[in-house]
Amino acid sequence: MRMLPIVCLLAMTPVALGATQSTAKTTPKATPKTASTQAKSATKGGRTVELTAGDTMKFDVTSIQAKPGERLHVVLKSNGTAPKVAMAHNFVLLKEGVSPVEFNNAAMNARDTDFVPPSMTDKIVAHTALAGPGETVDVSFAAPTKPGTYTYLCSFPGHFQVGMKGELIVK
């Protein structure tokens, strides 16, 4: 009989963890894709750039080159094992001149919008939804027309601070 409370507690844990995950969506971002829908999303046009992220909190690609105005299709796959509530990843491309530190600080309190602060959506070129273990997210956009270096990062709390960032070089 003493096992029953433990079993009930373990059964309720996923529900409790799931309740803390956000279902709020804002535009312009993509939603998680499964492997079967990933191929369909590749038809959105533009050059596909594939990124992978996992429990190391690093993007496997930290520099992307593009021509001004080039259509890009960024596909981010999470290959981690930690639960999504504890270790999710996104791709957020900031406009020129935006401080990634200021953006990241604002993002820490934006769980309801996948750590993309509504007050700073005008500072973003494009972003994805959060991807948990085994999930893939994507976004299509036109690279900025002005040549320069644009920062992309993961806005999940703590990830940018440990180096989960990269640069889009437009030339």
Answer whether residue 85 is part of any domain. yes
pLDDT at res. 33:
37
Residue 142 φ then ψ, to 5°: -95, 130
pLDDT at res. 44:
61
pLDDT at res. 156:
97
Domain count, the chain: 1
Per-residue model confidence as pLDDT tens for the chain (171 residues): 443 333 333 333 333 333 333 333 333 344 333 332 333 344 467 999 999 999 999 999 999 999 999 999 999 999 999 999 999 999 999 999 999 999 999 999 999 999 999 999 999 999 999 999 999 999 999 999 999 999 999 999 999 999 999 999 999
Answer whether residue 83 is part of any domain. yes
Answer whether residue 11 is part of any domain. no
pLDDT at res. 86:
93
* Parent domain of 86: 25-170
pLDDT at res. 27:
31
pLDDT at res. 141:
98
With residues binned 3-state (H G I as helix, E B as strand, rest as coil), the percentages for the chain, rounded to 5, are 25, 30, 45
pLDDT at res. 158:
95
- Specify the pTM: 0.75
Structure tokens at 30: 């993509």
Answer whether residue 15 is part of any domain. no
Answer whether residue 117 is part of any domain. yes
Distances (CA, A) of 159 to 2, 40, 49, 72: 41, 29, 21, 24
Answer whether residue 20 is part of any domain. no
What is the C-alpha to C-alpha distance for residues 16 and 124, in angstroms, rounded to an integer?
32
Closest by CA to 135, choosing from 60, 54, 34, 23, is 34
Answer whether residue 8 is part of any domain. no
Structure tokens at 119: 């007050």
What is the C-alpha to C-alpha distance for residues 127 and 54, in angstroms, rounded to an integer?
18
CATH number of the domain enclosing 131: 2.60.40.420
Answer whether residue 149 is part of any domain. yes
